[in-house]
Amino acid sequence: MSTLVRIAPSPTGFLHVGNVRTALMNWLFTRKQGGKFMLRLDDTDMERSTQAFADAIERDFKWLGLSWDMFAKQSDRFARYKEVLEQFKAVGRAYPCFENQEELALKRKSQLSRGLPPIYNRDALKLTKDEIDAKIAAGQKPHWRFKLNDTPVVWDDLVQGHKSFAGSALSDPVLVREDGVPLYTFCSVVDDADMKITHVIRGEDHVANTAVQIQIWEAMNAPVPTFAHLPLITLASGEELSKRLGSMSVAGLRDEMGVEPLAIASLLAKTGTSDAIEAADSMDELVNSFDFKKIGRSPPKFDTKDLMRINARIIHHMSYAQAAPRLAGMGLTAVDEKFWNAVHQNMTQFNEIKNWWLIANEKLAPKIEDAELIKHAAATLPAAPWDDTTWGTWTKALGTATGKSGKALFMPLRLALTGQEHGPEMKMMLPLIGEARAKARLAGQTA
């Protein structure tokens, strides 16, 4: 059977790097297996799900290069969830419960005080049919639970190894709320079973869900998929991620920090593994190197310092042919290969190219820190034409004449010509600035 995996984000907020890491692991695994990847929106929470968030999820996945072969929305499948629920009712695996949240909380508190596990005590199973009918007639709406068997639940996890849960220690999960909305525990299994998902790769916070969901798969007479539960990624500070708080959202990394999609993929694919955290040359390279055996058990940490280091390397290795379409999209069609090659080795983010284009071609107020040095520099500035040897020839003669060297020589010149303390090598920038503009700036004029 061909490998088929899915990622099922809820369109209730923006994707953060934790969501993306899970999606990436699914995508890398199935691409290496020659399988398929499904994007399935978990949009049954109609109150909080929005089309805007759904659109943002699709946009983020496309930008990251995580293409999908199949697409589904759980909101299109309510009739199917109802059908399965009725099947479970008919065989006694689903039963109605009438406790509200306050009553359930009190029961859990009581159980904990007696040293008992806070699982549902199945009081609702004691209700007779007449009692149930009376409650419904009185206007009470039940929520529906799945009756678990007491048999052990075991599976071999691709990341965590052998897992075992005693069925008697698990709480009967709620399948459908009082308002008729089916819950993740239920919908996810029905979808996975119907869509023939072969592997479920998700965060380790779902391990307990897996223990109860396996019995739901079995109750549907559906093959149980293979599982891989990943350690949850945190920020370098140890802070947990939240898509509703916008922690390290994909949109923020792209639009505010100017991060390359391959930089995000490179970091997330390698963080928490035995591989070195370095920039990949392509998504294919990440696919070929993927292996669940490399994933450690400790929570991986997402460090923006590593991200920006990787991002810089990707920019430094980007050819002009790769950059040209994006330059055109920024309105920088005048940036030619010569200009790109002169500046990109010193860029950390792609959008920095615009700043250097403006510095070389638009008016700039120079910063004159050593007036005597700059005056002497203006007087000895070589005549055009210039090439990448002009800067070295000029500054060598200037150093000999003034007795200055190192930072005391080069920094005042850089500030006067570019207004910046750091940037591309001045031997490359000087010819781009040009003789007329360089002379005016050395004279203290805005040019």
Is 44 within a domain? yes
Clarify whether residues 83 and 153 are in a common domain. yes
Name residues whose C-beta falls within 8 Å of residue 282's C-beta, 6 or more positions apart in sequence: 262
CA 377/CA 412 separation, integer angstroms: 10
Is 292 within a domain? yes
Clarify whether residues 425 and 303 are in a common domain. no
Is 296 within a domain? yes
Clarify whether residues 281 and 403 are in a common domain. no
Clarify whether residues 431 and 296 are in a common domain. no
Q: Number of structural domains, the chain?
A: 4
- Within 10 A of 250 (CB to CB), how many other CB atoms are there? 24
Clarify whether residues 125 and 166 are in a common domain. no
Is 168 within a domain? yes
- End of a domain among 309, 332, 361? 361
CA 371/CA 363 separation, integer angstroms: 20
CA 20/CA 63 separation, integer angstroms: 12
Clarify whether residues 158 and 59 are in a common domain. yes
Tell me which residue range forms the domain holding 109: 102-132
Clarify whether residues 345 and 237 are in a common domain. no
Clarify whether residues 62 and 169 are in a common domain. yes
CB of 282 closer than 8 Å to CB of 289? no
- Model pLDDT, residue 352: 95
- Model pLDDT, residue 245: 46
Is 190 within a domain? yes
- Model pLDDT, residue 235: 85
Clarify whether residues 401 and 297 are in a common domain. no
- End of a domain among 361, 390, 416? 361
- End of a domain among 132, 154, 179? 132
Clarify whether residues 247 and 332 are in a common domain. no
Phi-psi region of 381 (alpha: psi -120 to 50; beta: other; left: phi over 0): beta
CATH of the domain at 421: 1.10.10.350
Is 447 within a domain? no
The residues that bridge with 405 in the sheet, in sequence order, are: none
Clarify whether residues 173 and 77 are in a common domain. yes
Is 366 within a domain? no
Q: Is the dihedral angle over the CA atoms 231, 232, 236, 237 positive or is it negative? A: negative
Is 137 within a domain? no
pLDDT (tens digit, 9 = 90+) per residue, 402-433?
999 999 999 999 999 999 999 999 999 999 99
In degrees, rounded to 5, the angle at the alpha carbon of residue 349 between the alpha carbons of residues 344 and 350 is 65
Clarify whether residues 325 and 409 are in a common domain. no
Positions in the chain short of pLDDT 50: 243-245
